Amino acid sequence: MLVRAMIGGGISVGLMGLTQSALQLTVLRGIQGASSGTVAAATALVATETPAPHLAWALGILSSAISLGSAVGPAAGGLAANVVGLRAIFLGGGALLLLATIPVLFIVKESPRRAIRAAAPRTMDVLRAAAPGTVGALAVLIAAQGLQQTSYAAAQALVVLRLLQLTGATDAKSLTGITFAVAGIATALASVTYSRLLRRTSYRAVITIGAVLMGLALFGSGLARNPAMLVAAFVIGSFFSGALIPAFGAMIGLEAPSIVQATVFGVSSSSISLGFGLGPLLGGFVASAAGVQTGLMAAGVLALAQAALVGIASREPKPPQRLA
């Protein structure tokens, strides 16, 4: 599944460099979304191959790598585009993604599956036969993931507009790049280090407290009166968002039976993607009606709603043994 996603993404991204119209680029972007899904596939593979006591750490490392790529990629692509042009960036990106399949093919090992695909049970049947409350627990986590991504995506879009308001177009260009680079590093750092908190507390507490602090930081970004306060609040929100991403993944991995984990993570990825698209739409709607600052505060409120959902309706998963 991961190799298929990487090949599909590499080919579609590479072909974007050969497009001759905006329509062709849009169609290929849609094909990329339908044919790739590397994050969901990689998450499912890591979750199924990692022993439960080390799942939080493994997903934290994976999330950190994704966050670093998200921070470094746009900056590197923007700099390279000035030298080689946009078409070459798409061609190079597609080639790099295809080359990345080589270590996956020859280094990454997957345990043999005894289950016969043709006789595999339905996902819902497996979930209903699992521990009582599994379906509800997964539904809460997946819905909370969607809220988290909606909140953060809305804030990402509106931070750019707020920087424009505070600094003007000239200064906002460089400051926006710096802001998102630092935010990406903060996200990656949190993804790596959050698992240490699990030695003293629980997944549920980490997510609930992290979501509250993320919500307060994003709400504070709406109240910021100068660029420094705005950037600081957004970076703090990004840090706590970085802790939530792998924590959600670990909880889902511990709740879902291994035979259907790939399917469950696929649904989880769809919820995240929906939030990624819905966030800027909702943020833009609120900002157009009541102002950018109100939109940022609304993003914070969504994060607080996520905290309430997890704190009230979720449950702590039970791994075979606690972290050492």
DSSP string covering 102-146: HHHHHT---PPP-S-GGGPPPHHHHHHHSSTTHHHHHHHHHHHHH
Tell me the residue length of the chain. 324
Q: Is residue 198 part of a domain?
A: yes
Q: Above pLDDT 70, what percent of the chain?
A: 90
Can you give the CATH number for the domain in which 192 is found? Answer: 1.20.1250.20
0.85 exceeded by the pTM?
A: no
Q: Above pLDDT 90, what percent of the chain?
A: 31
Provide the domain limits for residue 151: 2-109+123-313
Q: What is the pLDDT of residues 161-192, one digit of tens each?
A: 998 888 876 666 667 778 888 888 888 888 87
Q: Is 37 left (phi over 0), alpha (psi -120 to 50) or beta?
A: left
Q: Is residue 134 part of a domain?
A: yes
Q: Is residue 16 part of a domain?
A: yes
The segments of the chain whose pLDDT lies below 50 read: 114-118, 320-324
In this predicted structure, what is the pLDDT of residue 129? 86
Q: Is residue 118 part of a domain?
A: no
Total tally of structural domains belonging to the chain: 1
Which two three-digit tokens encode residue 97?
């993604």
Phi, psi values for residue 256, rounded to 5°: -85, 130
Number of H helices, E strands in the chain: 13, 0
Q: Is 133 left (phi over 0), alpha (psi -120 to 50) or beta?
A: left
Q: Is residue 86 part of a domain?
A: yes
Q: Is residue 293 part of a domain?
A: yes
Q: Is residue 318 part of a domain?
A: no
Q: Is residue 161 part of a domain?
A: yes
Q: What is the pLDDT of residues 13-56, one digit of tens each?
A: 888 888 888 888 888 888 877 776 677 778 778 877 877 777 77
Which two three-digit tokens encode residue 6?
């990487």
In this predicted structure, what is the pLDDT of residue 120? 62
